[in-house]
Homo-oligomer: A and B are copies of this chain.
Amino acid sequence: MRSETFTVRTGDRARVHDLTRQCAEFVGAERDGLLNIFVPHATAGLAIIETGADSDDDLLAALEVLLPRDARWRHSHGSPGHGRDHVLPALVAPSLTVPVLGGRLQLGTWQSICLVDTNIDNGEREVRLSFLAGD
């Protein structure tokens, strides 16, 4: 299994960061198999959504409603409301698997692999890509 990490700068606000290019390059020289994308952080997740047509902002807005950045959370380290970022990975998991055929991600036309990072206290995130060959 080939496995590598890279770093994403996410800055100090909630972000949906498109990782598709890096994923596509990582598997470009492979044949068939499964690509696992994994984020080794307790306050970020991964999602396959459309980017560039406002759905990334819609996702962040929906998460503000579903997991409000307010005083309800018992985990109270970091910025006010940061406890919600620790619940995020239960709903937007930090692990995703995508099939690869002939070195190409089998994504649909409108799908992008995205890091979902609502944590505003950590401006840098690591992503691990692992390819398990099936031939």
Q: A residues touching B (Cβ–Cβ < 8 Å)?
A: 1, 3, 32-34, 36, 38-42, 45, 47-50, 53-55, 57-59, 61-62, 66-67, 72-77, 83-84, 86-87, 89-99, 101, 106-111, 116, 126, 128, 130, 132-135
Contacts and interface: CB of A to CB of B under 8 A. Distances in A.
A39 to B, nearest CB: 8
Given A99-B130, A128-B106, A89 B47 contact: yes
Copies of this chain present in the complex amount to 3
Closest 4 CB pairs of A and B: A1-B134, A40-B108, A54-B74, A47-B90
Contact of A106 (B38, B87, B99): B38
B34 A42 contact: no
Where chain A touches its partner, the secondary structure class is mixed
Contact of A33 (B53, B75, B132): B132
A65 to B, nearest CB: 9
